[in-house]
Amino acid sequence: MKYCKLGRTNFEVSTIGYGAWGIGGKQWLGGTDDESVAALRRAIELGVNLIDTALAYGDGHSEQLVGQVVRETGHKIYVATKVPPKNRIWPAKGAFQEVFPYSYIMASAEESLGNLGLETIDLLQLHVWSSEWVDQDDWRRAFEDLKRSGKARAVGISITEHDPDSALSAIRTGLIDAVQVIYNIFDQTPEKQLFPLTIQENVGVLARVPLDEGALGGHITESTTFPRGDFREFYFRGNRKKEVVQHVNTLLRDLGDFVSLPETALRFCLSNSAVSSVIPGMRTLRHAEMNSALSDMAPLSAATLAILKRHAWDRNYYC
Ligand SMILES: NC(=O)c1ccc[n+]([C@@H]2O[C@H](COP(=O)([O-])OP(=O)(O)OC[C@H]3O[C@@H](n4cnc5c(N)ncnc54)[C@H](OP(=O)(O)O)[C@@H]3O)[C@@H](O)[C@H]2O)c1
Protein backbone atom coordinates (compact mmCIF):
# COMPACT_ATOMS: atom_id res chain seq x y z
CA MET A 1 0.00 0.00 0.00
CA LYS A 2 1.27 3.46 -0.90
CA TYR A 3 0.64 6.46 1.36
CA CYS A 4 0.32 10.13 0.55
CA LYS A 5 0.13 13.35 2.55
CA LEU A 6 -3.45 14.65 2.69
CA GLY A 7 -2.90 18.23 1.58
CA ARG A 8 -1.52 20.47 4.31
CA THR A 9 -2.43 18.06 7.12
CA ASN A 10 0.19 15.73 8.53
CA PHE A 11 -2.00 12.68 7.73
CA GLU A 12 -0.20 10.01 5.70
CA VAL A 13 -3.25 8.39 4.12
CA SER A 14 -3.43 5.22 2.03
CA THR A 15 -3.95 6.00 -1.65
CA ILE A 16 -6.85 3.52 -1.61
CA GLY A 17 -9.33 4.47 1.10
CA TYR A 18 -12.56 2.83 2.15
CA GLY A 19 -15.87 4.37 1.01
CA ALA A 20 -18.35 3.47 3.73
CA TRP A 21 -21.66 4.64 2.25
CA GLY A 22 -22.71 1.14 1.19
CA ILE A 23 -22.15 -0.43 4.60
CA GLY A 24 -24.69 1.91 6.17
CA GLY A 25 -27.46 -0.12 4.53
CA LYS A 26 -30.81 1.62 3.92
CA GLN A 27 -29.76 3.04 0.54
CA TRP A 28 -27.47 0.15 -0.42
CA LEU A 29 -29.21 -3.15 0.13
CA GLY A 30 -28.17 -6.74 -0.26
CA GLY A 31 -25.20 -6.83 2.14
CA THR A 32 -24.91 -7.81 5.78
CA ASP A 33 -23.08 -6.15 8.68
CA ASP A 34 -20.89 -9.24 9.08
CA GLU A 35 -19.76 -9.03 5.43
CA SER A 36 -19.19 -5.28 5.71
CA VAL A 37 -17.12 -5.57 8.88
CA ALA A 38 -15.08 -8.42 7.38
CA ALA A 39 -14.40 -6.35 4.24
CA LEU A 40 -13.40 -3.32 6.29
CA ARG A 41 -11.10 -5.37 8.54
CA ARG A 42 -9.48 -6.97 5.49
CA ALA A 43 -8.94 -3.59 3.82
CA ILE A 44 -7.23 -2.38 7.02
CA GLU A 45 -5.09 -5.54 7.16
CA LEU A 46 -3.99 -4.73 3.61
CA GLY A 47 -2.92 -1.22 4.59
CA VAL A 48 -6.03 0.94 4.09
CA ASN A 49 -5.90 3.64 6.80
CA LEU A 50 -8.53 6.13 5.61
CA ILE A 51 -12.27 5.54 5.90
CA ASP A 52 -14.90 7.92 4.55
CA THR A 53 -18.28 7.71 6.26
CA ALA A 54 -21.13 10.12 7.06
CA LEU A 55 -23.78 10.64 9.70
CA ALA A 56 -26.37 10.24 6.94
CA TYR A 57 -25.16 6.79 5.86
CA GLY A 58 -27.82 4.55 7.34
CA ASP A 59 -28.64 7.26 9.91
CA GLY A 60 -25.40 6.65 11.81
CA HIS A 61 -25.14 2.92 11.15
CA SER A 62 -22.09 3.26 8.89
CA GLU A 63 -20.36 5.43 11.52
CA GLN A 64 -21.15 2.84 14.20
CA LEU A 65 -19.63 -0.02 12.16
CA VAL A 66 -16.61 2.10 11.26
CA GLY A 67 -16.10 3.09 14.91
CA GLN A 68 -16.34 -0.54 16.04
CA VAL A 69 -13.63 -1.64 13.61
CA VAL A 70 -11.38 1.41 14.15
CA ARG A 71 -11.47 1.04 17.95
CA GLU A 72 -10.35 -2.60 17.75
CA THR A 73 -7.46 -1.76 15.39
CA GLY A 74 -4.07 -1.32 17.02
CA HIS A 75 -2.79 1.45 14.77
CA LYS A 76 -3.92 4.83 13.47
CA ILE A 77 -6.87 4.85 11.09
CA TYR A 78 -8.00 8.23 9.74
CA VAL A 79 -11.77 8.67 9.90
CA ALA A 80 -13.50 11.19 7.67
CA THR A 81 -17.17 11.85 8.26
CA LYS A 82 -19.73 14.45 7.20
CA VAL A 83 -22.28 16.90 8.54
CA PRO A 84 -25.54 16.30 6.65
CA PRO A 85 -27.58 19.31 5.51
CA LYS A 86 -30.04 20.25 8.27
CA ASN A 87 -32.89 20.24 5.75
CA ARG A 88 -31.73 16.83 4.46
CA ILE A 89 -31.78 18.00 0.84
CA TRP A 90 -29.10 16.74 -1.56
CA PRO A 91 -27.71 18.49 -3.56
CA ALA A 92 -27.53 21.79 -1.67
CA LYS A 93 -30.78 23.72 -1.63
CA GLY A 94 -32.20 26.46 0.56
CA ALA A 95 -30.93 29.43 2.51
CA PHE A 96 -27.67 28.83 4.37
CA GLN A 97 -29.35 29.04 7.80
CA GLU A 98 -31.67 26.17 6.79
CA VAL A 99 -28.68 24.01 5.93
CA PHE A 100 -25.64 24.69 8.14
CA PRO A 101 -26.33 27.01 11.11
CA TYR A 102 -23.44 27.08 13.63
CA SER A 103 -25.19 25.23 16.47
CA TYR A 104 -26.36 22.51 14.08
CA ILE A 105 -22.84 21.86 12.74
CA MET A 106 -21.54 21.60 16.32
CA ALA A 107 -24.36 19.23 17.38
CA SER A 108 -23.90 17.08 14.28
CA ALA A 109 -20.17 16.66 15.00
CA GLU A 110 -21.04 15.54 18.56
CA GLU A 111 -23.54 13.01 17.21
CA SER A 112 -20.92 11.60 14.83
CA LEU A 113 -18.39 11.34 17.67
CA GLY A 114 -21.00 9.43 19.68
CA ASN A 115 -21.67 7.01 16.82
CA LEU A 116 -17.97 6.49 16.19
CA GLY A 117 -17.11 6.16 19.87
CA LEU A 118 -14.00 8.29 19.24
CA GLU A 119 -12.56 11.42 20.84
CA THR A 120 -11.83 13.18 17.59
CA ILE A 121 -12.88 13.21 13.92
CA ASP A 122 -9.83 13.33 11.68
CA LEU A 123 -11.62 15.02 8.78
CA LEU A 124 -15.05 16.62 9.17
CA GLN A 125 -16.68 17.52 5.85
CA LEU A 126 -19.85 19.43 5.00
CA HIS A 127 -21.96 16.92 3.06
CA VAL A 128 -23.32 19.50 0.59
CA TRP A 129 -21.92 22.79 -0.62
CA SER A 130 -22.96 25.89 -2.55
CA SER A 131 -20.53 28.59 -3.66
CA GLU A 132 -23.12 31.13 -2.49
CA TRP A 133 -22.29 30.25 1.12
CA VAL A 134 -18.63 31.10 1.02
CA ASP A 135 -18.98 34.39 2.94
CA GLN A 136 -21.25 32.98 5.65
CA ASP A 137 -19.73 33.20 9.10
CA ASP A 138 -21.27 30.08 10.70
CA TRP A 139 -19.38 27.36 8.86
CA ARG A 140 -16.06 29.15 9.25
CA ARG A 141 -16.65 29.71 12.98
CA ALA A 142 -17.84 26.14 13.52
CA PHE A 143 -14.81 24.71 11.70
CA GLU A 144 -12.42 26.92 13.70
CA ASP A 145 -14.08 26.07 17.02
CA LEU A 146 -14.16 22.32 16.28
CA LYS A 147 -10.48 22.39 15.43
CA ARG A 148 -9.62 24.47 18.49
CA SER A 149 -11.45 22.03 20.78
CA GLY A 150 -9.76 19.03 19.12
CA LYS A 151 -13.10 17.51 18.09
CA ALA A 152 -12.05 17.79 14.45
CA ARG A 153 -8.44 17.73 13.30
CA ALA A 154 -9.07 18.77 9.71
CA VAL A 155 -12.08 20.11 7.83
CA GLY A 156 -13.37 19.92 4.30
CA ILE A 157 -16.21 19.98 1.83
CA SER A 158 -17.83 17.18 -0.11
CA ILE A 159 -18.46 18.87 -3.42
CA THR A 160 -21.79 18.87 -5.27
CA GLU A 161 -22.16 16.08 -7.84
CA HIS A 162 -20.54 16.93 -11.18
CA ASP A 163 -19.88 20.56 -10.18
CA PRO A 164 -16.26 20.63 -8.99
CA ASP A 165 -15.87 24.35 -9.64
CA SER A 166 -18.47 25.16 -6.98
CA ALA A 167 -15.74 24.61 -4.36
CA LEU A 168 -13.08 26.88 -5.88
CA SER A 169 -13.99 29.96 -3.82
CA ALA A 170 -14.15 27.90 -0.59
CA ILE A 171 -10.65 26.55 -1.25
CA ARG A 172 -9.39 30.09 -1.79
CA THR A 173 -10.50 31.04 1.76
CA GLY A 174 -7.64 28.92 3.11
CA LEU A 175 -9.98 27.30 5.67
CA ILE A 176 -10.39 23.97 3.88
CA ASP A 177 -7.89 21.14 4.39
CA ALA A 178 -9.47 18.68 1.91
CA VAL A 179 -12.21 18.32 -0.66
CA GLN A 180 -14.07 15.24 -1.76
CA VAL A 181 -15.12 15.15 -5.41
CA ILE A 182 -16.56 12.80 -8.00
CA TYR A 183 -13.65 11.81 -10.20
CA ASN A 184 -13.76 8.86 -12.55
CA ILE A 185 -13.28 7.94 -16.22
CA PHE A 186 -16.69 9.39 -17.06
CA ASP A 187 -16.36 12.61 -15.01
CA GLN A 188 -12.92 14.10 -15.57
CA THR A 189 -13.98 17.74 -15.01
CA PRO A 190 -12.00 18.17 -11.74
CA GLU A 191 -8.84 18.09 -13.86
CA LYS A 192 -9.68 21.45 -15.45
CA GLN A 193 -9.81 23.90 -12.54
CA LEU A 194 -10.22 22.05 -9.24
CA PHE A 195 -7.06 19.94 -9.27
CA PRO A 196 -4.70 22.77 -10.33
CA LEU A 197 -6.09 24.86 -7.43
CA THR A 198 -5.85 22.04 -4.86
CA ILE A 199 -2.22 21.51 -5.84
CA GLN A 200 -1.50 25.25 -5.63
CA GLU A 201 -3.23 25.58 -2.22
CA ASN A 202 -1.99 22.23 -0.90
CA VAL A 203 -5.51 20.95 -0.28
CA GLY A 204 -6.13 17.19 -0.05
CA VAL A 205 -8.40 15.42 -2.53
CA LEU A 206 -10.56 12.36 -1.89
CA ALA A 207 -11.69 10.94 -5.25
CA ARG A 208 -15.18 9.61 -4.66
CA VAL A 209 -17.42 7.38 -6.77
CA PRO A 210 -14.40 6.11 -8.73
CA LEU A 211 -16.50 3.26 -10.16
CA ASP A 212 -19.47 5.47 -11.06
CA GLU A 213 -21.66 3.69 -8.50
CA GLY A 214 -20.79 0.37 -10.15
CA ALA A 215 -21.11 1.35 -13.83
CA LEU A 216 -17.31 1.04 -14.09
CA GLY A 217 -17.33 -2.20 -12.11
CA GLY A 218 -18.14 -3.99 -15.36
CA HIS A 219 -21.18 -5.95 -14.18
CA ILE A 220 -24.11 -3.76 -15.26
CA THR A 221 -26.17 -5.25 -18.09
CA GLU A 222 -29.49 -4.11 -19.53
CA SER A 223 -31.24 -6.68 -17.36
CA THR A 224 -29.42 -5.95 -14.07
CA THR A 225 -31.86 -5.42 -11.21
CA PHE A 226 -31.27 -4.01 -7.75
CA PRO A 227 -33.11 -4.73 -4.50
CA ARG A 228 -36.29 -2.67 -4.20
CA GLY A 229 -35.47 0.68 -2.54
CA ASP A 230 -31.74 0.45 -3.31
CA PHE A 231 -30.22 3.78 -4.40
CA ARG A 232 -28.95 2.16 -7.60
CA GLU A 233 -32.52 1.38 -8.69
CA PHE A 234 -32.88 5.17 -9.02
CA TYR A 235 -29.38 5.87 -10.35
CA PHE A 236 -29.61 3.30 -13.14
CA ARG A 237 -33.30 3.77 -13.90
CA GLY A 238 -35.08 3.91 -17.28
CA ASN A 239 -32.77 3.50 -20.27
CA ARG A 240 -29.67 4.36 -18.23
CA LYS A 241 -28.42 0.76 -17.98
CA LYS A 242 -28.56 0.59 -21.77
CA GLU A 243 -26.55 3.84 -22.01
CA VAL A 244 -24.01 2.49 -19.52
CA VAL A 245 -23.59 -0.75 -21.46
CA GLN A 246 -23.03 1.20 -24.69
CA HIS A 247 -20.42 3.48 -23.11
CA VAL A 248 -18.66 0.63 -21.31
CA ASN A 249 -18.55 -1.50 -24.47
CA THR A 250 -17.02 1.35 -26.49
CA LEU A 251 -14.51 1.96 -23.72
CA LEU A 252 -13.50 -1.72 -23.54
CA ARG A 253 -13.22 -1.91 -27.33
CA ASP A 254 -10.81 1.07 -27.29
CA LEU A 255 -8.77 -0.35 -24.41
CA GLY A 256 -8.34 -3.72 -26.07
CA ASP A 257 -8.52 -7.26 -24.74
CA PHE A 258 -7.58 -8.52 -21.27
CA VAL A 259 -8.23 -5.22 -19.53
CA SER A 260 -10.04 -5.25 -16.19
CA LEU A 261 -12.51 -2.36 -16.17
CA PRO A 262 -12.62 -1.77 -12.38
CA GLU A 263 -8.83 -2.02 -12.19
CA THR A 264 -8.42 0.52 -15.00
CA ALA A 265 -11.06 2.79 -13.44
CA LEU A 266 -9.31 2.88 -10.06
CA ARG A 267 -5.84 3.21 -11.58
CA PHE A 268 -7.15 6.12 -13.67
CA CYS A 269 -7.84 7.99 -10.39
CA LEU A 270 -4.59 6.86 -8.77
CA SER A 271 -2.65 8.15 -11.79
CA ASN A 272 -3.53 11.78 -11.10
CA SER A 273 -1.04 13.36 -8.69
CA ALA A 274 -3.69 15.78 -7.34
CA VAL A 275 -5.56 12.83 -5.79
CA SER A 276 -4.57 11.98 -2.22
CA SER A 277 -6.82 8.94 -1.83
CA VAL A 278 -9.35 7.08 -3.97
CA ILE A 279 -12.31 5.84 -1.88
CA PRO A 280 -14.26 3.04 -3.61
CA GLY A 281 -17.23 1.48 -1.86
CA MET A 282 -16.33 -2.18 -1.20
CA ARG A 283 -18.63 -4.25 0.93
CA THR A 284 -17.13 -7.62 0.01
CA LEU A 285 -13.83 -9.27 0.90
CA ARG A 286 -13.13 -9.83 -2.78
CA HIS A 287 -13.50 -6.17 -3.69
CA ALA A 288 -11.53 -5.04 -0.62
CA GLU A 289 -8.65 -7.32 -1.70
CA MET A 290 -8.78 -6.43 -5.41
CA ASN A 291 -8.92 -2.70 -4.81
CA SER A 292 -6.34 -2.48 -2.02
CA ALA A 293 -3.80 -4.27 -4.24
CA LEU A 294 -4.01 -1.54 -6.90
CA SER A 295 -2.33 1.11 -4.78
CA ASP A 296 1.09 -0.45 -5.45
CA MET A 297 0.70 -0.54 -9.22
CA ALA A 298 2.40 1.95 -11.50
CA PRO A 299 0.35 4.84 -12.87
CA LEU A 300 -1.40 4.12 -16.18
CA SER A 301 0.66 4.85 -19.28
CA ALA A 302 0.24 8.12 -21.14
CA ALA A 303 -1.20 6.13 -24.07
CA THR A 304 -3.90 4.54 -21.88
CA LEU A 305 -4.71 7.88 -20.24
CA ALA A 306 -5.09 9.43 -23.70
CA ILE A 307 -7.64 6.75 -24.59
CA LEU A 308 -9.53 7.29 -21.34
CA LYS A 309 -9.64 11.04 -21.93
CA ARG A 310 -11.89 10.41 -24.92
CA HIS A 311 -14.43 8.59 -22.75
CA ALA A 312 -15.49 11.47 -20.53
CA TRP A 313 -19.28 11.45 -20.47
CA ASP A 314 -21.25 14.56 -19.50
CA ARG A 315 -24.41 13.52 -17.65
CA ASN A 316 -25.93 13.61 -14.17
CA TYR A 317 -27.67 10.41 -13.01
CA TYR A 318 -28.19 11.83 -9.50
CA CYS A 319 -31.14 13.90 -10.78
N1 LIG B 1 -22.03 13.27 -1.44
C2 LIG B 1 -21.02 12.58 -0.98
O3 LIG B 1 -20.28 13.04 -0.16
C4 LIG B 1 -20.81 11.17 -1.46
C5 LIG B 1 -21.64 10.62 -2.43
C6 LIG B 1 -21.36 9.35 -2.89
C7 LIG B 1 -20.28 8.65 -2.39
N8 LIG B 1 -19.49 9.21 -1.43
C9 LIG B 1 -18.33 8.46 -0.85
O10 LIG B 1 -17.61 7.86 -1.91
C11 LIG B 1 -17.54 6.43 -1.68
C12 LIG B 1 -17.48 5.69 -2.99
O13 LIG B 1 -18.64 5.88 -3.75
P14 LIG B 1 -19.76 4.75 -3.90
O15 LIG B 1 -19.52 3.69 -2.90
O16 LIG B 1 -21.07 5.44 -3.90
O17 LIG B 1 -19.55 4.24 -5.39
P18 LIG B 1 -18.31 3.56 -6.17
O19 LIG B 1 -17.14 3.43 -5.29
O20 LIG B 1 -18.16 4.28 -7.46
O21 LIG B 1 -18.93 2.12 -6.52
C22 LIG B 1 -19.25 1.20 -5.53
C23 LIG B 1 -19.74 -0.06 -6.22
O24 LIG B 1 -18.66 -0.66 -6.93
C25 LIG B 1 -18.57 -2.03 -6.54
N26 LIG B 1 -17.16 -2.43 -6.56
C27 LIG B 1 -16.18 -2.12 -5.66
N28 LIG B 1 -15.01 -2.66 -6.03
C29 LIG B 1 -15.24 -3.35 -7.17
C30 LIG B 1 -14.41 -4.12 -8.03
N31 LIG B 1 -13.12 -4.29 -7.78
N32 LIG B 1 -14.99 -4.68 -9.13
C33 LIG B 1 -16.31 -4.50 -9.40
N34 LIG B 1 -17.14 -3.76 -8.63
C35 LIG B 1 -16.60 -3.19 -7.52
C36 LIG B 1 -19.14 -2.08 -5.15
O37 LIG B 1 -19.55 -3.38 -4.85
P38 LIG B 1 -19.69 -3.91 -3.32
O39 LIG B 1 -19.95 -2.71 -2.45
O40 LIG B 1 -20.89 -4.80 -3.38
O41 LIG B 1 -18.40 -4.58 -2.96
C42 LIG B 1 -20.29 -1.10 -5.26
O43 LIG B 1 -21.40 -1.72 -5.88
C44 LIG B 1 -18.81 6.16 -0.84
O45 LIG B 1 -18.77 4.89 -0.21
C46 LIG B 1 -18.77 7.34 0.09
O47 LIG B 1 -17.81 7.13 1.10
C48 LIG B 1 -19.73 10.45 -0.96
Tell me the CA–centroid distance for residue 281 and ligand 1, in Å: 3
Q: pLDDT for 33-91, tens place per residue? A: 999 999 999 999 999 999 999 999 999 999 999 999 999 998 999 999 999 999 999 99
pLDDT on residue 170: 98
Of 173, 175, 207, 176, residue with least CA distance to 190: 207
Which of 216, 207, 217 lies closest to 284, judged by CA? 217
pTM here is 0.98
- Which residues of the chain, if any, have pLDDT below 70? none
Rounded to whole angstroms, the Cα distance separating 12 from 143 reads: 22
Amino acid 135: pLDDT: 97
* Ligand 1 pocket, residues with Cβ under 6 angstroms: 19-22, 52, 127, 158, 180, 208-214, 217, 262, 279-284, 287, 290-291
**How many residues would you count in the chain?**
319
